[in-house]
Amino acid sequence: MIRGAVLHSPSRRLAWLLFLAFGCVFAASLGHLLKPAFLQGVTDLPDLPFLAMLRWDAGWYGSIAKDGYWFTPGQQSPVAYFPLYPMLIRAAGWLGANRWVAGAVLSFGAGIGGLLAFHRWVGRVAPAQATTAWLLLVSYPYACYLYGVVYSDALFLLLVVGAFLALESDSPIAAAVLGALATACRPVAPAVVIGLTVRSLERRRRAGLPIRVLDLVPGLSGLGLLAYMLFLHNQFGDALAFAHVQGAPGWESASGWNVLLKSEWFHHMRVDHWTIKLRLGAHAFVTLGAIALIPSVFRRLGWGYGAYVLLVLAMPAASSKDLQGMGRYAIAAFPVFVPLAQGLDEWSGVRDLLLLVLAVALAATAFVWGTGAYVA
Tell me the per-residue pLDDT of 92-133, one tens digit each, with 9 for 90 and over.
Answer: 989 999 999 999 999 999 999 999 999 999 999 999 999 999
Residue 299 domain flag: yes
Residue 289 domain flag: yes
What are the tens digits of pLDDT across the range 162-203? 999 999 999 999 999 999 999 999 999 999 999 999 999 999
58, 61, 62, 30: which is closest to 44 by C-alpha? 62
Residue 375 domain flag: no
Residue 332 domain flag: yes
DSSP 206-235: HTT----GGGGGGGGGGHHHHHHHHHHHHH
Our count of domains for the chain comes to 1
Rounded Cα distance between 173 and 167, Å, is 8
Structural contact between residues 196 and 164, judged by C-beta atoms closer than 8 angstroms: yes
Residue 336 domain flag: yes
Query: 262: Cβ–Cβ under 8 A, 6 or more apart, which residues?
Result: 320, 321, 322, 323
Q: Residue 24 corresponds to which amino acid?
A: C
299, 362, 374, 360: which is closest to 331 by C-alpha? 362
Please list the ranges in the chain whose pLDDT falls under 50. Answer: none
Rounded Cα distance between 290 and 323, Å, is 13
Helix (H, G, I), strand (E, B) or coil at 106: helix
Residue 376 domain flag: no
* C-alpha pair distances (Å), 307 with each of 120, 211, 291: 21, 20, 12
pTM: 0.93
Domain range for 88: 2-370
Residue 220 domain flag: yes
In this predicted structure, what is the pLDDT of residue 105? Answer: 94
Residue 11 domain flag: yes
